Chain A
Amino acid sequence: MADNIRFTLNDDPVELSGLSPMTTLLDWLREHRGLKGTKEGCAEGDCGACTVVLEQADGRRQPINACIALLGQIDGQSVRTVEGLRGLDGAPHAVQVAMAEADATQCGFCTPGFVMSAYAFAAGGEAADAETIHDALAGNLCRCTGYRPIVEAMTKVAGLPVGPVPSALAREQSAAFDGRFFAPRSLADLLTLRAQYPEALLLAGATDLGLLASRSRKPPAAVIHVSHVPELTAIAEDKEQITIGAAATYAEALPALIAAYPALKTYLARLGSRQIRSLGTIGGNIGTASPIGDMPPVLLALEASLRLVSSRGARDLPLDAFFLGYRKTALAPDEVIQSISMPRLWPGEVFFCDKLSKRRDQDISTVAAAYRLRIKNGVIEDVRTGFGGLAATPVRARNVEAALKGQPFAQATFEAAADAVLKDFQPIDDWRGTAAYRLTAAANLLRRLYWRIAEPGRAVEVEAL
Chain B
Amino acid sequence: MTATVRHPVRHDSALKHTTGQALYIDDMPEPPGTLHAALVLSPVASGRLRKLDLAAVAALPGVVVVLGPDDVPGTNDVSASGKGGEPLFAMDRVEFVGQTLAMVVATSLDAARHAAERVAIEVEADEPILDIETALARKAYVQAPATILRGDLDTALKSAAHRLSAEFQVGGQEHFYLEGQIAFALPGEDGDMIVHSSTQHPTEVQHICAHLLGCDFNRITAVVRRLGGGFGGKESNASWVAGAAALAAHKTGRPVKLRLPREIDMIATGKRHPFLYRYSVGFDDDGRVLALDAMLAADAGWSLDLTPGVMARALTHTDNAYWIPHFRAVGYACKTNKQSNTAFRGFGGPQGVVVMEDALDRIAHHLGRDANEIRALNFYAEGRDETPYGQTVDENHLARCWAEVKKGGDYERRRSEIDAFNRASPILKRGLGLFPLKFGISFNLPHMNQAGALVHVYIDGSIRLNHGGTEMGQGLFVKVAQVVAEVFGVDIDRIRPSATSTAEVPNTSPTAASTGSDLNGWAAWEAANTIKQRMIAFAAEHFSASQSDIEFAEGNVRIAKPGSNQVVSFGELAKLCWLGRVSLSATGFYKTPKIHWDGAAMRGRPFFYFSFGAAMAEVAIDTLTGESRVLRADLVQDCGESLNPAIDRGQIEGAFVQGQGWLTCEELWWDKQGKLRTIGPSTYKIPGSRDVPPVFNVTMLANAPSREATIFRSKAVGEPPLLLATAVWTALKDAIAAAGDGRTAVRLDAPATPERILAAIATVKA
Contact = CB atoms under 8 A, between A and B. Distances in A.
Interface of A: 30, 35-47, 49, 81-83, 85-86, 92, 95-97, 99-101, 103-112, 115, 130, 133-134, 137-138, 140-151, 215, 217, 356-364, 366, 430-434, 437, 440-441, 444-445, 447-448, 451, 459-463, 465
Contact of B753 (A100, A358, A440): A358
Interface in B454-511: 472-475
Given A107-B178, A149-B653, A465-B631, 18 more contacts: A82-B19, A97-B15, A99-B17, A107-B472, A108-B22, A108-B473, A111-B18, A141-B681, A143-B178, A148-B696, A150-B689, A151-B692, A359-B687, A360-B691, A361-B690, A364-B683, A462-B627, A462-B629
B682 to A, nearest CB: 5
B416 to A, nearest CB: 17
A141 B18 contact: no
B178 A41 contact: yes
A445 B624 contact: yes
Interface of B: 8, 10-11, 13-24, 26-27, 110, 113-114, 175-180, 226-231, 261-263, 427-428, 430, 472-475, 620-622, 624-629, 631, 646-647, 649-650, 653-658, 665, 667, 669, 677-678, 680-683, 685-692, 694, 696, 753-755, 758-759
Given A41-B178, A431-B683, A444-B625, A360 B690 contact: yes
A138 B690 CA distance: 8
A95 B665 CA distance: 30
A367 to B, nearest CB: 9
Q: From DSSP, what is the main secondary structure of chain B's interface residues?
A: loop
A37 B16 CA distance: 10
Contacts of B262: 41-44, 215
Listed residue (B14, B113, B688) with the most chain A CB atoms within 10 angstroms of its CB: B688
A107 B682 contact: no
Nearest to A85: B19
A451 B654 CA distance: 37
B420 to A, nearest CB: 14
Nearest to A270: B690
Contacts of B229: 107, 109, 143-144
A215 B626 contact: no
A103 B8 CA distance: 10
Interface centre among A145, A146, A362 (most CB of B within 10 A): A146
Contacts of B758: 437, 440-441
B226 A108 contact: yes
Contacts of B629: 360, 462-463, 465
Given A109-B24, A137-B688, A465-B430, A144 B654 contact: yes
Q: Which of B21, B176, B658 is packed against the most chain A CB atoms within 10 Å?
A: B21
Nearest to B690: A134
B178 A358 contact: no
A359 B650 contact: no
A448 B631 contact: no
A130 B20 contact: no
Nearest to A433: B755
Contacts of B681: 41-42, 44, 46-47, 141
A138 B688 contact: yes
A138 to B, nearest CB: 6
B228 A434 contact: no
A430 B759 CA distance: 17
A107 B228 contact: yes
A416 B461 CA distance: 81
A365 to B, nearest CB: 11
Nearest to B16: A108
B686 A36 contact: no
B109 to A, nearest CB: 8
A371 to B, nearest CB: 15
Nearest to A102: B14
A414 to B, nearest CB: 12
B473 A107 contact: yes
Contacts of B231: 143
A358 B23 CA distance: 34
A431 B669 contact: yes
B473 A448 contact: no
7 A-B pairs closest in CB distance? A37-B20, A107-B473, A109-B228, A108-B17, A106-B473, A431-B669, A146-B653
Contacts of B691: 359-361
A172 B343 CA distance: 57
Contacts of A101: 10, 14
Contacts of A30: 26
11 contacts: A41-B681, A96-B18, A100-B18, A103-B650, A104-B18, A107-B177, A107-B473, A140-B689, A144-B229, A146-B692, A358-B753
Contacts of A36: 20, 23, 26-27
B626 A441 contact: yes
Nearest to B261: A43
Given A39-B179, A145-B654, A358 B10 contact: no
A110 B178 contact: yes
B656 A141 contact: no
A255 to B, nearest CB: 22
A92 B650 contact: no
B18 A147 contact: no
Given A106-B473, A107-B177, A142-B178, A356 B754 contact: yes
Given A46-B682, A112-B20, A143-B231, A149 B650 contact: yes
A39 B653 CA distance: 24
Most buried by B among A37, A42, A97, A142: A42
Nearest to A459: B428
Contacts of A460: 427-428, 622
B699 to A, nearest CB: 14
A49 B20 CA distance: 11
A356 B11 CA distance: 39
Contacts of A107: 177-179, 226-230, 472-473
B604 to A, nearest CB: 33
A150 B755 CA distance: 30
Contact of B622 (A82, A96, A461): A461
Contact of A106 (B263, B475, B626, B631): B475
Given A36-B27, A47-B681, A143-B176, A83 B20 contact: yes
A108 B13 contact: yes
B633 to A, nearest CB: 10
A148 B430 CA distance: 23
Contact of B677 (A97, A115, A431): A431
A143 B625 CA distance: 27
A151 B653 CA distance: 13
B110 A448 contact: no
B646 A103 contact: yes
Contacts of B16: 108
Nearest to B263: A215
A95 B17 CA distance: 12
B117 to A, nearest CB: 9
Contacts of A92: 15, 18-19
Contact of B19 (A37, A41, A358): A37
A47 B688 CA distance: 10
Given A82-B20, A361-B688, A106 B654 contact: yes
Contact of A448 (B23, B179, B427): B427
A108 B428 contact: no
Nearest to B753: A358
A445 B18 contact: no
B492 to A, nearest CB: 15
Indicate the member of A106, A151, A437 with the most B CB atoms within 10 Å: A106
B572 to A, nearest CB: 32
B752 to A, nearest CB: 10
Which of A37, A47, A141, A144 has most B Cβ within 10 Å?
Answer: A144
A326 B428 CA distance: 36
B489 to A, nearest CB: 25
Given A108-B17, A143-B231, A364 B682 contact: yes
A10 to B, nearest CB: 11
Given A109-B179, A215-B263, A141 B686 contact: yes
